[in-house]
């Protein structure tokens, strides 16, 4: 059997460096495929679009990565991930489609996802729709796309429950596919003491773009400094997607006199991240429209709680406020972070509970189990 997970967009459109895809993007899916390949002797692929003129492939850890040239458009739609398409990808699937294809796209879906699904069905093969986001577009095209999928994979129980109450997904088999983390790699450091009264080590990992609201994390640093945490520091890791927003952040840091308290570290490879999570006291996730982010789970696995936003989806699906992390608002974000650092007992409790939450719910074995069951449900009895 041949299985493929197709991400019908270029890595750059998703804020990922293309050469880093095998070690950075969609790692839980990749690891689950590796297990499937090793334990069940299944041929596994990961597909993406590329801005290169020619298609290419590479093999790593037993998985074949395929990159198909994106269709270039004069109006610039080839840069917008939900509007991207690839004639080369469709041609490849018409010639030799996998037995099962998992199409990873947001709940809005995309014209290309629909086109690809039609090719797959025409060739007598099967596809599974995987939804990474929690916002949906209800139209005839999407209703047909979801209805013709063997089943749908989502990442949280809350998302599944929400979708089951929507007409768009009426009568469709929806399964929870948890995004697991390697808890042997992302683990707490032994013998690390809590920060001293003057210290507060914050971390942000993600794209630098307006809707991520990194400025709220910077504001929190200022509040900490003003309340006695003279050595408070925020490390910011990730690519600059919006140069205009990055410039605003730099100006903000200068005006607040935080030059010694905030450091931009740029892009880091996935395997470089564990020490940053381990050494941080708190991970900041101030976006108000965050979906399920792996950095959140990876941080919690390292015993570093997450300060997220109390809004539907994403952090609210994972964090139990005040128990294993923080769910806040834009208005109270800095104050809630200050309260966390002023309470050593709370820090210790959240650190232990965050790690246990991941061990219980978001392990790689859980991810692999769902993928294995999905594939086995398609095999002849």
CATH of domain 2-180+363-376: 3.40.50.2000
Would you give the DSSP letter of residue 317?
A: H
CA–CA gap between residue 371 and residue 146 (Å, rounded): 18
Q: Could you tell me which of 313, 381, 371 has the C-alpha nearest to residue 39? A: 371
Q: Which distant-in-sequence residues (6+ apart) come within 8 Å of 193 by Cβ? A: none
pTM given for the model = 0.76
- Cβ distance 23 to 182 under 8 Å? no
Instruction: Give the phi and the psi of residue 277 in degrees, each rounded to 5.
Output: -65, -45
Distance of CA 211 to the CA centre of its chain: 15
Q: Do domains 2-180+363-376 and 199-361 have the same CATH topology?
A: yes
CA–CA gap between residue 188 and residue 96 (Å, rounded): 45
Kindly give the confidence (pLDDT) of every residue in the chain, 381 residues in length, as a single tens digit, with 9 standing for 90 and above.
999 999 999 998 887 889 889 887 888 889 899 999 999 889 999 999 999 999 999 998 899 999 999 999 888 888 888 899 999 999 999 999 999 999 999 888 999 999 999 999 999 999 999 997 778 999 999 999 999 999 999 988 888 988 999 999 999 999 998 888 889 999 998 765 555 567 899 999 999 999 999 999 999 999 999 999 999 999 999 999 999 999 999 999 999 999 999 999 999 988 899 999 999 999 999 998 766 678 999 999 999 999 999 876 678 888 999 999 999 999 999 999 999 999 999 999 999 999 999 998 888 888 888 898 888 888 765
- Both tokens of 207, joined, read 């794209």
Domain-wise residue ranges, the chain: 2-180+363-376, 199-361
User: In the prediction, which pLDDT does 196 show?
Assistant: 56
The residue whose two tokens read 């990055």 is: 246
Instruction: Give the phi and the psi of residue 253 in degrees, each rounded to 5.
Output: -60, -40
Residue-wise DSSP of 89-101: HHHHHHHS--SEE
User: In the prediction, which pLDDT does 380 show?
Assistant: 64
Q: Could you tell me which of 135, 185, 184 has the C-alpha nearest to residue 162? A: 135
CATH of domain 199-361: 3.40.50.2000
CA–CA gap between residue 260 and residue 65 (Å, rounded): 41
């Amino acid at each position: 059997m041949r299985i493929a997970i197709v991400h019908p967009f270029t890595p750059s459109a998703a804020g990922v460096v293309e050469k880093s895809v095998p070690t950075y993007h969609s790692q839980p899916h990749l690891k689950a495929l590796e297990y499937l390949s090793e334990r069940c002797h299944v041929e596994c692929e990961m597909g993406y679009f590329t801005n290169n003129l020619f298609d290419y492939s590479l093999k790593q850890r037993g998985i074949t990565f395929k990159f198909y040239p994106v269709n270039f458009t004069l109006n610039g739609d080839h840069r917008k991930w939900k509007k991207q398409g690839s004639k080369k990808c469709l041609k490849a699937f018409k010639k030799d489609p996998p037995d099962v294809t998992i199409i990873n796209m947001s709940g809005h879906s995309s014209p290309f996802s629909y086109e690809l699904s039609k090719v797959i069905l025409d060739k007598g093969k099967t596809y599974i729709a995987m939804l990474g986001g929690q916002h949906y577009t209800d139209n005839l095209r999407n209703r047909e796309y979801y209805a013709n999928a063997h089943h749908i994979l989502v990442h949280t129980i809350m998302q599944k429950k929400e979708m089951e109450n929507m007409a768009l997904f009426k009568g469709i088999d929806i399964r929870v596919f948890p995004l697991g983390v390697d808890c042997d790699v992302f683990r707490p450091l032994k013998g690390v003491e809590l920060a001293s009264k003057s210290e507060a080590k914050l971390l942000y990992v993600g794209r630098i773009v307006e809707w991520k609201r990194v400025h709220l994390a910077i504001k929190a640093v200022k509040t900490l400094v003003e309340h006695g945490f003279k050595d408070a520091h925020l490390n910011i890791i990730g690519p600059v997607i919006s140069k205009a927003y990055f410039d605003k952040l730099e100006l903000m840091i200068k005006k607040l006199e935080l030059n010694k308290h905030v450091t931009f570290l740029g892009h880091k490879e996935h395997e470089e991240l564990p020490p940053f999570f381990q050494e941080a006291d708190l991970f900041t996730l101030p976006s108000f429209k965050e979906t399920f982010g792996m950095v959140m789970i990876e941080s919690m696995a390292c015993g570093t709680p997450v300060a997220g936003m109390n809004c539907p989806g994403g952090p609210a699906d994972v964090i139990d406020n005040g128990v294993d992390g923080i769910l806040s608002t834009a208005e109270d974000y800095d104050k809630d972070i200050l309260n966390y650092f002023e309470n050593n007992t709370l820090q210790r409790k959240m650190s232990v509970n965050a790690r246990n939450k991941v061990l219980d719910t978001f392990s790689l074995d859980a991810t692999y189990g769902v993928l294995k069951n999905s594939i086995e449900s398609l095999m002849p009895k």
